[in-house]
Every structure is written in structure tokens, then in C-alpha cells.
Amino acid sequence: MWALLVLLGAASISAHLQDRSFDGQKVFRVVPQNDEQVQILNSLANIMQVDFWQPDSVTLVKPKMQVDFRVEAVKTSMVEDLLKESGVEYQVLIDNLQAAVDAQFDSTARAAGHSYEKYNNWDTIAAWTADIAAQNPDLVSRSVIGETYEGRPMYLLKVGKSGPNKKAIFLDCGFHAREWISPAFCQWFVKEAIEYYGKELIMTTILDNLDFYVLPVVNIDGYVYTWTNNRMWRKTRSKNADSLCYGTDPNRNFNAGWCTVGASKNPCSDTYCGSAPESEKETKALADFIREHLSTIKAYLTIHSYSQLLLFPYSYTYALPPDYQELNSIASVATEKLAAWYNTKFTYGPGAETIYPAAGGSDDWAYDQGIKYSFTFELRDTGRYGFLLPESQIKPTCQETSFAIKYIAYYVLEHLY
Amino acid sequence: ELPPGQFPARRAAAVAAAAVRHRRGGPARALGLRELRRARREDIEDVGHKYYLELELEDALDKDSTVNCTAEVLYHVGNKNIAPDVQFTLEGELKSTEEADHMFYTWVRSLEKELVAENIPDSHGHVPAELEPIRLLAWVASGYLIWQNSTENTHLQLAQIKHVKQVKRSDEYLQFDYVVLLHEMVSQEIIPWEMTVLWHPRDGVQVTRDSRQPRH
């Protein structure tokens, strides 16, 4: 029996710390009869990455207690052999965890017309924000941080286990209307948070200790316009004085080197910086919220597409930020994590030299406010489909990006300031 | 020597890839840029900026099929209206697309009504299977537009086919009149562009006429 444990130990050393998906994973229910069997479970926990669902920790296990734990796919047969060999009574509670998890979300999705693997229009997303908060009150709450130009409420989801003095990460999507994969990602991320809380160690640790402020669509008016009028619209839909052209580029509208480079003073341009910093109701609402919560927000993540880039400050100048080394290392590891799924290659670096110099960006503004960990993601692809990323790529894009963001969140947790 | 992660090298690589895609492409083969391995820049006085690039290209229809490419891109300084010069060499042979080309050619010739289509891909990124070669043809032809209209300050990509109409001809060529949308990444503008594309399995893809359209 001990030989088997050694074998299991060797296998777990080469295993990854985080699980990528639950495919093939099993959840076992065991009732140890005596101290010797409790010891066996102890050894199992110590040598392998066994995730205890109940009780929370193996140290709480006592004889005659019902014990549930999750085992990685590659180890399930070894664990079963071990339990059989030691005469420990067990049952397989969940035969394939991924199937169970998928089923849970399929039913809710079909009900509302919402799908995590399709592009949802704004009404569907708005309804989803209400539903997801109502269904998961202990993890998600919804608030309104402002109104768009056309009068739509800007919904914000606060995701995390409530607790005192928690720090937070701000995550926004849908700055640019035509980048549909972006709002799709924010919805996916919230789903993952709920799905894996209490079931996966990293996500549970993150949500116990941090809150995510998730703004699923910043530029709602623009997003609606891409569904009704022009799929390639980018900016907001505010009327510009003395011009027939509508809209401001929200990511040129922040007070960070505003309109000095990479932005246009022409309202007809797709990079129009606006009449003044935060001239847009949407950007003002976002900036106001961050200012009000500045003491608790420790990271700012903003999702765009396309190009497969992970950018950090600065974009308004070629000068490197004081935290360049640290941000660069984080980006390096985060892009590796991302590539681990489907080998999707991301380039990373400071915005100005990596993509182009451009002033007025929200990431630069957040950084200059004191939010050290400020990143812009440009998701798939590199131009083959561009803004028109097929729905079949929503899931893999979101899976890989989620993984990178969880890494960044965990890093932030370990480096709170 | 240039860091491949920075935009000047990446823009030059996109131009090189566009030119290769045009010259070597067809309805069953479109090469895209997978990775920029190395880049070097030379400033030639009174002439322009020359980029020396090592690229890895991939076949759009078979992601596992890649080919190495060395390329030189010369942007002319002074007269911005001259297209950049592109020279390239591909390592090894590209696999034959004779069968797929023949099938597509026969299918189009057999159509009673001239083919017409819009919005490829559609808003959700979908392309009907039978229109995939039409899509690839546009992507290959747009390689020509991109190559001819690039400068060091632009980065053009094909965003969408707004409209395509087949035009039957008395000779053996297939003709498609496209209106495409090009996405210029630096200005973020979407530029409508008309182009007439000719193709025959024996020949490459030719853009015989093109014209930039005003924004709508």
C-alpha cells in the first residue's frame, strides 16, 4: 500500500498546481471507519493535490464522518485502487465533474436566451446581470455606477465572498463597441468565479480574499449600435457639437496625457479624444467609481480585441513606468499561462512601443492614480477574423484568458500594497 | 536588430505576409503570419527604411502546416505614394491545392445565376461552408491592397467582405467584384474598398482594378 502512495506522490510532483478543466475528474465520498482509515486519507491529502469539499480540510476528518474530495482525472484510478486495497468504503459521487458543471449552466442559459458561448445583445446581458446576482447572492451583487449618453444604466457586478477590509480588482469589458469578444469574456469570467468558488482552490482563495468589480459593458450605447446599425462602430454615441459625426473614442478620453499623441481632435475620427477628458458620461462614471474606491482597488484590467497583446503603461509616452520590471515579469508569466491552453501566442510590453503611442487610455490613467497593476488585454485573433471572431472561439478564448487573469489576481493577492 | 514584439517590425512583417499571401494564394490557400522570429532595420539615406525579416507563416486551412519565410520590406521615404518593395523567399514547397481549386472552379462555372453574397463573415463570425473559398480569395486579394497601400505608419487588415458579385466572362477566368472593409489599426478607421479579382487554377490571383471608397 505504501508503495502505491509513493507512486501517487511521484505523479503529483509533476502535476500542475492549477486544474485547467474538470474533464474526467471524479468526486469521491468516503466514510473512514477508524483512525487507520483516517490516516490513509491524511496521507492521500498530504501527497497529492486532493481537493476536499467536505470537510474543508483533511485535519478535520474523524472516523464515521462523511468525507467528500475531488481528484484529478489522471489520478482517479490510482485513488480507487488505493481505497479498494485499504478496504476503505467509498462511492463515486460525481463521475465526471466537467459534465456536471456544464449541465448546471446549460439550464440557466436556455431559460433566459443567454449563452456563454454566443454573443449576447445588450438586453440579454442586462437581464443576465440581474439573474446572476439573484441566483448567487452570497457571491455576486449588482449596482449601477452611472448612465450612458442614451440613458442606459451602467451595471456593475461585485464578485467575491463578503468579508471585512477586502481589496479589489477592477475588470472592464466593452470599451470599444465592435470588440464583441470582450463583453463575452466578462460574462464568462463571472460564470467561472461562481462555478469554481468552493470547488477549486485558487479561485476560492482569490474570491475569499479579493473582490472583483466587473463592468461587463462600458460603452453600452456603442454596443447596441453594432447590433442595430453598424457592426464596425467603435466609439460612444454622443452627439458632437458642430459636427455631423457622432461619438468619442472612450479609450482616448481619460486624463492621461490627454490628446497629445495617437488621438484625433476631429470628431469624425475613430480615435477622437472628445471635447475634454472624461467628456463622456461612460468614462466619467468609470473614473468616478475608481476614484471613490481608490484605497481598495489594487489592480485594473481592461479587455479589448484584437491582436493578442498584453499591454501595460505607458501608452501616452515612450517613457517606462517606475514599476516596469515587475509589470513586465507579470506579463511574461501571464502570457505563458495563457498559451498553456491552446498555444495562443501573445506579445507583451508597454503600450507605446508594443502597439502604438496613444494618449488618454484608461490603463495609463488608472496607473497614474496609483493602481500599480494595470493591464490591457487585446484578445484573439491577429487579423484573420479580427472583430468578427467566430462564436466557436468564444469558449477557448475565454478559458485561456481567464487562466491568465487568475494568475494576475493571485499575484496581486500575494503582493498587496 | 529590432525586438520582434515592437510595432515597427510587426507592421513590416504584416506587409511582407500580405505580399506573400497575394502572390502565393488562391481559393484553397491563404498564408497568414504565425510568428515574427527576427527583424533588422537598415536606414538607407535618401531612399528609405529597409526591414529584414524572418517569418513563420501558416496555412489558413491547415494550422499545422507552416512554412518559414525570409523577407525584405523597403518603405520609400519621400514619396509616400509608392508602395513598399517586398522581396521574399519561402523555404520548401507548399502542398498542391489542385483538387480543391478544380472543384471550386467547376462549381462556380456551373452556377446558373451569378454568385452574390454579403457580409462575410457575418456579425457573429460565421461563414457558410460553400463561401469559404470566396472568403479566402478576398483575403488573398486584400493582401495586394494591403501591400500596395501600406506605410510605416499603417497596419491594414481585412475586416469583412461587405458585398461580392460574380461577373461571368467570355474567357476562362473567374471574376468577382468585391466591396471589402479594411481595418487600419493605427487610426482605427474602417475603409471601404472596391476591388475586381480575377482567378484561374493555372494562374494566381489578380486584382485588376481597385478603388478606395469614401466612408459611409
pLDDT for residue A65: 82
What residue of A is the nearest CA neighbor of B123? Answer: A388
What residue of A is the nearest CA neighbor of B215? Answer: A268
Domain B7-91 has CATH 1.20.1250.20: no
B114: cell is: 451569378
pLDDT for residue A5: 53
Residue to substitute from B11, B139, B161, B188, interface A, most A β-carbons within 10 A:
B188
Higher-confidence residue of A40 and A293: namely A293
pLDDT for residue A100: 67
Q: Which of A378, A391, A400, A414 is catalytic?
A: A378
Give CA–CA dist B193/B145, Å, rounded: 9
pTM tops 0.95, yes or no: no
Specify the CATH class of B97-212 in words.
alpha beta
Is the pLDDT at A323 greater than 60? The verdict is: yes
Backbone CA torsion sign across A337, A339, A342, A344: positive
- Tell me the average pLDDT across A275-289: 98
pLDDT for residue A332: 98
Q: Give the residue extent of every domain in chain B.
A: 7-91, 97-212
- Quick check: ipTM above 0.90? yes
Beta carbons of A232 and B181 less than 8 Å apart: yes
Higher-confidence residue of A115 and A95: namely A115
Check: CB of residue B15 under 8 Å from CB of residue B147. yes
pLDDT for residue A14: 40
Tell me which amino acid residue A106 is.
D
Do the domains spanning B7-91 and B97-212 agree at the CATH topology level? yes
Compute the nearest-CA separation of B168 from chain A (Å).
29
Check: CB of residue B29 under 8 Å from CB of residue B94. yes
pLDDT for residue A2: 58
Tens-binned pLDDT, residue by residue, of chain B (216 aa): 899 889 999 999 999 999 999 999 999 999 999 999 999 999 999 999 999 999 999 999 988 889 999 999 999 988 778 999 999 999 988 889 999 999 999 999 999 999 999 999 999 999 999 999 999 999 999 999 999 999 999 999 999 999 999 999 999 999 999 999 999 999 999 999 999 999 999 999 999 999 999 976
Judging contacts by C-beta atoms under 8 Å, the chain A residues touching residue B4 are 347
The angle at the Cα of A390, spanning A386 to A394, to the nearest 5 degrees, equals 100
Residue to substitute from B57, B124, B150, interface A, most A β-carbons within 10 A:
B124
pLDDT for residue B187: 97
Give the SS3 label for residue A58.
helix
Task: Assign A16 a pLDDT band (cuts: 50, 70, 90).
Answer: very low
CB neighbours of B82 closer than 8 A, spacing ≥ 6?
B76
Is the pLDDT at A12 greater than 70? The verdict is: no
Beta carbons of B187 and A356 less than 8 Å apart: no
Place of cell 481608490: A294
Beta bridge partners of A158: A141, A213
Cis amide leading into A381 (omega within 30): yes
B188: cell is: 482605427
pLDDT for residue A28: 82
Q: Give the residue extent of every domain in chain A.
A: 21-104, 122-414
Beta carbons of A232 and B32 less than 8 Å apart: no
pLDDT for residue A111: 47
CB neighbours of B14 closer than 8 A, spacing ≥ 6?
A383, B33, B146, B150, B155, B156, B157
Beta carbons of B125 and A391 less than 8 Å apart: yes
Alpha helix segments (H runs only) across B117-170: 132-148
pLDDT for residue A362: 98
Check: CB of residue A173 under 8 Å from CB of residue A182. yes
DSSP-assigned letter for residue A63: T
Check: CB of residue A257 under 8 Å from CB of residue A289. no
pLDDT for residue A106: 55
pLDDT tens-digit series, residues A24-73? 788 888 888 888 888 888 877 776 767 777 787 777 788 888 788 888 77
Residue A280 a catalytic site member: no
Mean pLDDT rounded to a whole number for chain A: 90
At the fourth CATH level, the homologous superfamily of domain A122-414 is: Zn peptidases (3.40.630.10)
The CATH code of domain A21-104 reads: 3.30.70.340
pLDDT tens-digit series, residues A215-267? 999 999 999 999 999 999 999 999 999 999 999 999 999 999 999 999 999 99
Is the pLDDT at A158 greater than 80? The verdict is: yes
Beta carbons of A348 and B35 less than 8 Å apart: no
pLDDT for residue A13: 43
Give the dihedral of Cα atoms B72, B73, B77, B81; nearest 10 deg: 140
pLDDT tens-digit series, residues A402-411? 999 999 999 9
pLDDT for residue A58: 79
The B31-44 sheet, strands edge to edge: B31-44, B48-59, B62-76, B85-90
